[in-house]
A and B are shown apart, each in its own frame.
Chain A
């Protein structure tokens, strides 16, 4: 991690005054301020001074930043103008390393593919899975070290989401850590430690494909089941899917169900420690858990943005957008927009209209797994509260070097038993 930070320091906004820096120098896509947790005032500056902002000089090429809640709502309602193709990350990866996936498709193909897989995370299916998830949560919580400081990210957040994924795919349980590894590879910035190039990532993901092809063939030969692989292998719109498209959708589901929930599980512990009065409120009234879960998801905003590409010349927030321009919809900013959310800077577990945040996006690309994420967080806290008086944060978290995935690699905690 550290080596990469130094590589980019010449361009980082870390340490700059967000209120006096010339607007044209603000490059939100640079990971520095995100890892340093200094991004909030830069978002506030853009919301106030230039809510649709053009960054001409960035290592990732020119792009627009859209920072107000209402402008993002406008964009999400117009997929025919603001396309999700070719990709939803800022970097245009070479076509040969780009995986086709429905998050990066427009209607009608998006709709067909999404409809085929969404049943697996539909609430009806989740209800059947809840008991198993609860059992796994309990096993994880009861095996935590007593009296010692440990990394919450490794022992709980990563472990729980990995087990969850293995359950959804009906993936060989003892090999489940492969899933987390592939997820990390899929989102890794080359040079940041895990991989050195997109080519290398792609080679590793081909191993992932080979593994899943075996599972696919196995499931295709059997009666349709309730796991995702079986659903893809039997689904009308997906059963003849080309291998790369299959891989793309797999990676989407692995990443979608992994980093995001993992980081909300960690972020929740952090937020409750930073706001002890809210932790107390929760202990006194566990019925607030569902509402708190939504507030955690807003507060964390596990994906800072989604990118769209203008299909035609258009206008947004008084700015002329040209066909082909990239636009980043900063959910992390919308969720702090005073015009949409009251006292957005505060973590309030029983706030009114708590579900009205943009962490899941909105419109046709709204997070397919939102109910699964909420259920995992709810079950986790339902099992934490009766067991532990407090999960106490013992030191600063280590944040991920990324402006896209907002998350943590480390959060030292200890458990105070009841």
Chain B
């Protein structure tokens, strides 16, 4: 079972078990990690599950998709390693993944 780590803006780390096929967002919500709102419930249409992927994992996680890109692009905090966590699917490949949470969702 893959394990992933989410780091809150204040530095608090949450290392949690994840299931293949779930998204990082649903995994975080299920484990009550604060800092992810996911207002649209995972439809890639609100931008409130924004995370920064640890630089070491950017290649494995991959780039934002065509629907995700416009949502990310409207976020003033958007960075090179920004992703919407509802669009990152857990797989064995991502065992050990580290993402950081922004101070605020927008």
Contacts and interface: CB of A to CB of B under 8 A. Distances in A.
A119 B39 CA distance: 20
Nearest to A353: B41
Interface in A326-362: 353, 355-356, 360, 362
B76 interface: yes
B74 A115 contact: yes
Interface in A39-78: 73, 76-77
Interface in B53-85: 67, 70-71, 73-74, 76-77
B41 A356 contact: yes
Nearest to A354: B39
20 contacts: A73-B40, A73-B45, A76-B45, A77-B44, A111-B70, A114-B74, A115-B73, A115-B74, A118-B74, A118-B76, A122-B106, A123-B106, A353-B41, A355-B39, A356-B39, A356-B40, A362-B40, A363-B46, A364-B70, A366-B46
- Chain B's interface: helix, strand, loop or mixed, by majority? loop
Contacts of A362: 39-40, 43, 45-46
A314 B69 CA distance: 24
Interface of B: 37-41, 43-48, 67, 70-71, 73-74, 76-77, 103-106
A356 B44 CA distance: 13
A111 B105 CA distance: 19
Contacts of A356: 39-41
A107 interface: yes
B76 A107 contact: no
A371 interface: yes
A360 B46 CA distance: 10
Contacts of A77: 43-45, 67
Nearest to B70: A364
B43 A364 contact: no
Contacts of A355: 37-39, 48
A363 B77 CA distance: 17
A3 interface: no
A124 interface: yes
Nearest to A77: B45
A119 B71 CA distance: 15
A124 B103 contact: yes
Contacts of B38: 355
Given A355-B37, A356-B41, A362-B46, 8 more contacts: A77-B43, A115-B73, A123-B105, A124-B76, A124-B77, A362-B40, A364-B70, A366-B45
Contacts of B103: 123-124
Contacts of A118: 74, 76, 106
A62 B49 CA distance: 38
B106 A111 contact: no
Contacts of A353: 41
A1 B43 CA distance: 41
Contacts of B45: 73, 76-77, 362-363, 366
Contacts of A107: 70
Nearest to A74: B43
The 3 A-B residue pairs with the shortest CB-CB distance, nearest first, are A123-B104, A362-B45, A363-B45
Nearest to A362: B45
Contacts of B70: 107, 111, 364
Contact of A364 (B39, B41, B74, B76): B74
Q: Max chain A CB contacts within 10 Å: which of B37, B40, B48, B71?
A: B40
Interface in A106-161: 107, 111, 114-115, 118-119, 122-124, 127
B23 to A, nearest CB: 15
A122 B103 CA distance: 11
Nearest to A364: B70
B48 to A, nearest CB: 8
Nearest to A79: B70
Nearest to A76: B45
Contacts of B46: 362-363, 366
